Amino acid sequence: MRGLALAAVLLGGCDVVLGIDASVKPCGNDSFASVKPAAIGTADTFSLSWDGTPAPIDLGVYVPIPIALTPEADAMFYSAMIEPPVLQAAVRGGSTTTWNVDAIVPTGTFAGTPSAADFGPRRVLVRLRADQASVQEYEDVAGSWQPVGDAHDVDGAFAPNLTPSGLDMVYAASDAVYVAHRASMSQWFGDPVAILPGAHASPQLLDQCRELYVVDPPQVLDRYAR
């Protein structure tokens, strides 16, 4: 059994569920540059849900990078790192520890963390090809992933992660972690703003963007909290 890429808290329940703002609105652009990070553990990659218990998941023989867990921890995207990488998905089965692989995926190579179904039809951002900047947004329509609008170029190696509301996206470029917002789901995101300088990986924002989780060199999962 291959675990989820050394992410010891992959399904880890953080206290985010206790801090959810019931009003649906985009986050701000407050910087984390002066925040001292707290090390959580060792990880190559990770994804966090609102709540849950850490558990290994068998996703086959290929290394799954990146990993994108839904806020409810009932489904996840991952890419099998073969040549070329193959986007795959798994959904939670009848028990809390059983996952069914080969779920339906949108067209593309890498997927970011989806929005929460609590805020409407689930959305997800997908990098169409590993060697291109094009990112396409999809919406879950009766179990089928349908494209929303046109593709947009976004920096970074993987797909941007959405916050649970779907109104914010966060991604890592070579020089910083960036966030961008939109006022409603009917539009694309505004200009990105750097919120953490330097080289970081797999950024995920939770708790109305007051908490930023990243993988910092060398393979340290860090939590930045304002």
Neighbours of 212 (CB within 10 A): 25
Distance CA 174, CA 25 (A): 28
Q: Report yes or no on whether pTM surpasses 0.85.
A: yes
Instruction: Give the pLDDT of residue 96.
Output: 63
Q: How far is residue 59's CA from residue 82's CA, in Å, rounded to a whole number?
A: 14
pLDDT score of 136: 98
CA dihedral 130, 131, 137, 141 (to 10 degrees): -50
Question: Does any domain span residue 3?
Answer: no
Residue 9 lies in a domain: no
**Domain total of the chain:** 1
- Domain region containing 132: 15-20+37-225
- Residue 10 included in any domain: no
Across the strands, what pairs with 99? 92
Nearest in space to 42 (alpha carbons), one of 222, 201, 203:
222
In a domain, residue 27? The reply is no
| Tokens encoding 61 | 């023989």
Residue 106 within a domain: yes
HSE-up of residue 18 (Cα within 13 Å, Cβ side):
3
- Digitized pLDDT (tens) for each residue of the chain, 226 residues in all: 233 333 433 433 333 333 344 468 899 999 999 999 999 999 999 999 887 667 777 788 888 999 999 999 999 999 999 999 999 999 987 666 678 888 999 999 999 999 999 999 999 999 999 999 999 999 999 989 999 999 999 999 999 999 999 999 999 999 999 999 999 999 999 999 999 999 999 999 999 899 999 999 999 999 999 8
